[in-house]
Amino acid sequence: MVFVNSWGVWALALVSAIVARAIVRRYWTSIGDIPGPLLASFSNLWQVSQILKGHTETATIRLHQKHAENTDPYRVYCQGYFVRVAPNEISVSHPDAVRQLLHAQIAKGPWYAIMSLPDYRYVNQMSELDPQQHIRKQRNIASGYALSNIIQHEPHFDAVLQLLTSRLDDFCKSDRPIELDRWFTFFAFDVVGEVIFSKSFGFLEHGKDIRNAITNQRLLAPYAAVMGYYTWFHNLTLGNPLLSRLGIQPSSHILDTCIAAIEMRKQNPEKRNDMMQKWLDTRAKYPDRMEEVEIFSTAVGTLGAGGDTVSATIQALFYFLIRHPRYMFRLRDELDAAEARGELSPIVQYAEAQKLPFLQACIKETYRFHTAVGLGLPRVAPPGGITIAGRFFAEGVKFSPSRSFCVIQKVDSEVQTILSVNPWVFHRNPDIFGQDCDSFNPDRWLHGVLGDMMGAGYNACPGRNFAQFEICKLAATVFRDYDIEQVDPKQEWTWRNHFICVPYEWPCKIRRRSKT
């Protein structure tokens, strides 16, 4: 009986401690007045549950819209600018947040550490939290990502795109439905391999997902998104260096290709001057500034981010134009007119595609309407705090027995004030993009001035030129040469958001356009 009672006391003490911690997290904090889901105020489980459901972006949009209806004139969040999505994280929708958070040189939230691939030893630009180290890494790899360097590799882009069109022709001849999600993804990964390593992965050539590398990467996506909140557990399991040394991680095919490509260049300095060679040259010139591990981490990070993000954007561009025929016909008219004037090559060149204003408007609208990244982009409130829309956020969460007296705690991963901007929330802001912000409308980019509000600043995606290059060339070539429609025009596509909003299951019919 004494033994049973002892266990009961310990259980009660444990429950009491959990409840006390939840109460402290919810109420005795400087962000306790920010509205949000009850669960989010004392646990990360609200965010985890939304990640597992696959649509964090719509849930966050609804929260901001819900609290925009708050009419309390004494609270700055009455316009829905701030929503608490975790004990120490606030989702921010105010237009100034992009400039103040994403463009500013402030630290990323600790969630990004999960992006170190294949394990925590390989810190790339995505996973680097310190802004000064991020800038250093950016400077080291900038030559490879420069548009001037990418343009030099256009013949190699063309070769991959030519192979894709030959696969599309096979479907035209057989009259079989085509899963564009598969083929656009094969294209995106093969282009990355060709331009970084001078060697594609062979997905288009073999017409299949070799060693299930892409499938495994997507299966790992929800795991990675969740483990961003529990990196200590990840570092003991799939992020353990032992697994990468043994080559038994689920994405081993892509990692093996990276390793082989790097070793090949060490043995053959006359290799093509691709991105990898640019990075190796920088390493040779500045050995004290750039470590060898950065080359591998950058290559793997580019593969992890560059394949599915580009594929998701290409798919969205085609899907929304197919479902809005008036825009697709306008794009076709623009392409046909350029073709008639002799301004388009058999494989449309990047410089040619850049001169097509409606194509560019369609691509920009796709970036906005179906942003490839669908989770919040977290930043740490800087030393001294930050004020957004009149609301001050301290650099660390403040715990206190009352609202009037606060004791500043040590700022670490447990008590940092995290401010995040979800691109989907920002891109659905009617004050910025108009009352039709929930509609796909490329014309908004032809009338008025809408700046590149998500892509600037020191933290801009280093591969944005690379992605734009691929998307422009593929879209111009394929829309000019093929008629594409869904097998079932009433069937909406399926997609899930596990950081990248990856679509699938929207079979289409394809045929060559007649030249008249």
Distance in angstroms (rounded) separating the CA atoms of residues 314 and 383: 40
Q: Give strand pairing partners of 387.
A: 392
How large is the greatest C-alpha to C-alpha distance in the chain, in angstroms? 94
- CB distance 162 to 190 below 8 Å: no
To the question of whether residue 461 is assigned a binding role by annotation, the answer is yes
> For residue 513, which of 483, 484, 477 has the smallest C-alpha distance?
483
Distance in angstroms (rounded) separating the CA atoms of residues 438 and 418: 28
Element (H, E) at 125: none
Element (H, E) at 123: none
Number of CB atoms found within 10 A of residue 92's CB: 27
Q: Which residue has the tokens 């060709």?
A: 194
> Concatenated DSSP letters for 171-232?
HHHHT--B-HHHHHHHHHHHHHHHHHHSS--SHHHHTS-GGGHHHHHHHHHHHHHHHTT-HH
**What are the residues whose beta carbons fall under 8 Å from the beta carbon of 409, sequence distance 6 or more?**
396, 397, 398, 399, 415
Residues within the annotated binding site? 461
Residues within the annotated binding site for heme? 461
